Amino acid sequence: MSQTLDKVPGAPGSLPGKTAIGRLAGVIKAYPMGNRQYVALREVDLTLYAGEFTAIVGPSGSGKSTILNMVTGIDRPTKGQVFMTGLPLHAMNENELARWRGANVGIVFQFFQLLPTLTALENVMLPMDFLNTYGGKRQERALGLLERVGLKGRGHHLPSELSGGEQQRVAIARAIANDPPILIADEPTGNLDTATGEHIMGLLKELSVQGKLVVFVTHDPHLAEQAQRIIRVQDGLIVADEYQQSINAN
Ligand code: ADP
């Protein structure tokens, strides 16, 4: 089932001038389970916009990570279409998806997933090495990114020498190394104390204000409240999709 933008709840009329950066249309995702199948997404329609700080919430097992996997091209739909940055991810092969992801998506994980034998600086340089971007300016750029996340002068430390919050800052710097338009965070503060988590949320929000689509998944209603848009998922369906009043009023 296809949809037009004006049928999307809360969009685009309530926030004029928005740019759609992605669209899931009639997405069904089924996993084989013995001789049956488990349907993780049961026809999801969703449009995502540049510059929006978007939360996906819902009970464990409801399909949140599966939606992220569709948006990032980590997995493909069983049925339906996924368009991101104007490209049909559902029709691309693994190589094309990997290249697209490297240039367009930054991912921040709950457990940071930094390479333990590389310094913070080297971790941040890695995506640029991978895509061969920024040439001789890689180190300078990585230092600038570390400064931007509040880690000036900490680049030579190994992840084990940094606190959880600092490691997540490095992970954010790494995620934006190639200046991707899409930033995805899966429980980004799930392993951090409340105050540190607030700082990390602040950084992610700032990146959305600068124009990136930032989508994060959380179990924590208090964190979700900080998002501009809250998408609620239950049993493989989007059951609510709302813009926060305070932001909408502007
Ligand atoms: P959430 O992120 O909301 O906790 P998920 O998107 O990870 O939920 O999973 C949705 C459902 O799909 C869950 O019931 C999960 O067990 C199932 N699922 C996810 N990945 C697979 C897989 N690779 N194989 C089989 N079932 C899966």
Q: What is the pLDDT of residues 33-90, one digit of tens each?
A: 999 999 999 999 999 999 999 999 999 999 999 999 999 999 999 999 999 999 999 9
**What are the residue ranges spanned by the domains of the chain?**
50-73+93-248
Which residues line ligand 1 at a C-beta cut-off of 6 Å? 31, 38, 40, 58, 60-66
| Residue 41 CA, ligand 1 centroid: distance in Å | 9
- What CA–CA distance (Å, rounded) separates 206 from 53? 9
Counting from 1 in the atom list of ligand 1, the atom nearest the Cα of 58 is 3
Counting from 1 in the atom list of ligand 1, the atom nearest the Cα of 62 is 3
| Residue 62 CA, ligand 1 centroid: distance in Å | 7
For residue 4, pLDDT beyond 60? no
Residue whose Cα lies nearest atom 1 of ligand 1: it is 61
Counting from 1 in the atom list of ligand 1, the atom nearest the Cα of 236 is 10
- What CA–CA distance (Å, rounded) separates 105 from 250? 29
First-to-last CA distance in the chain?
33
- Residue 226: enclosing H or E segment and its boundaries? none
Residue whose Cα lies nearest atom 14 of ligand 1: it is 61
CATH class of the domain at 50-73+93-248: alpha beta
Do the beta carbons of residue 183 and residue 175 sit within 8 Å? yes
pTM of the model: 0.90
Alpha helices in the chain (DSSP H): 64-71, 94-104, 120-131, 138-148, 164-175, 194-209, 221-224, 245-248
Do the beta carbons of residue 27 and residue 80 sit within 8 Å? yes
